[in-house]
């Protein structure tokens, strides 16, 4: 009896610790562990570690060549790291193909909009619907009320309701950016990676996009690479600053703006 009573407090503490770890893990959507990639001896990303929480809107900033886009390339499987891990929902993405990573719930938007310009906005949305494989199959499927409502709702969310029947090639640059974001959202990703989503947009379009990104981060994690600090201030919950492939600073917008190292290598120029 004496032995059991002495062990109880330790067992209780151990159980509490394990429970705490589980809670912490459940809050993490993406974990970058000691990630490195080298190109011809140059380390584009150098032993980088960071975590993204569930339902977090994280902005990554830094000077050109800091490794921002390369980091997203490794998360989505476009580039394979030299070493390290990218953990998403218990899966190491570095061991998976781009297609497998998409199916796990990771959506990626590149700097240049990628839409089917000869198809209408509606048809672009239709092609993005999961389980409709290939362009021909997508266009031949029978439209029903539920799918049309889904497309109408997405068009409204990304400010394209009045343009559903327009060819995507007729859209402005900013509208094409919105269309691609909508196409990604149709796939219901848990993690959305956006590389300079407001590049080439008008001031009004930037405001609308800020509102959109804040809204969609309520149900998923969103990682944004951006240079426009006014835009960053509007959306960021937390900012990560990269420099020469390494983590230079991290915190709120105010904290990183006041960091002398960030001012020296990025904001001061």
* Within a domain: 48: no
pTM of this prediction? 0.84
* Within a domain: 122: yes
- Residue 202: which domain range? 55-81+95-267
Based on C-alpha coordinates, what's the Rg of the chain? 21
* Within a domain: 49: no
- Taking only the tens place, the pLDDT of each residue in 251-260 is 999 999 999 9
Query: Structural domain tally of the chain?
Result: 1
φ/ψ (deg, to 5) at 100: -65, -40
Q: CATH number, domain at 253?
A: 3.40.50.300
Strand, helix or coil for residue 187: coil
* Within a domain: 260: yes
Average pLDDT over every residue of 53-60: 95
* Within a domain: 1: no
* Within a domain: 71: yes
Q: Which residues pair with 109 in a beta bridge?
A: 194
* Within a domain: 8: no
* Within a domain: 22: no
Quote the pLDDT of residue 133.
Answer: 53
- Taking only the tens place, the pLDDT of each residue in 15-27 is 444 444 434 456 8
């Amino acid at each position: 009896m004496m032995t059991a009573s002495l062990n109880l407090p330790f067992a209780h503490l151990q159980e509490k610790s394990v429970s705490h770890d589980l809670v912490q893990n459940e809050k993490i959507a993406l974990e970058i562990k000691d990630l490195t990639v080298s190109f011809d001896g140059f380390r584009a990303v150098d032993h980088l570690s960071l975590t993204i929480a569930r339902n977090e809107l994280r902005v990554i900033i830094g000077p050109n060549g800091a490794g921002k886009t390369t980091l997203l390339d490794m998360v989505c499987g476009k580039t394979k790291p030299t070493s390290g891990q990218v953990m998403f929902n218990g899966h190491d993405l570095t061991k998976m193909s781009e297609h497998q990573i998409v199916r796990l719930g990771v959506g990626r938007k590149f700097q240049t909009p990628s839409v089917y310009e000869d198809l209408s906005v509606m048809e672009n949305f239709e092609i993005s619907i999961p389980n409709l494989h290939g362009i021909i199959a997508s266009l031949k499927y029978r439209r029903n009320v539920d799918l049309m409502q889904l497309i109408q709702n997405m068009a409204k969310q990304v400010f394209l309701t009045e343009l559903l029947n327009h060819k995507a090639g007729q859209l402005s640059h900013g509208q094409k950016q919105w269309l691609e974001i909508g196409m990604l959202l149709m796939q219901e990703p848990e993690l959305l990676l956006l590389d300079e989503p407001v590049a080439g947009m008008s001031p009004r379009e930037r405001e609308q996009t800020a509102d959109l990104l804040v809204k969609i981060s309520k149900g998923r994690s969103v990682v944004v690479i951006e240079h426009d600090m006014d835009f960053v201030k509007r959306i960021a919950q937390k900012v990560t600053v990269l420099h020469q492939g390494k983590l230079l600073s991290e915190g709120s917008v105010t904290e990183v703006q006041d960091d002398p190292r960030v001012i020296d290598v990025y904001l001061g120029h």
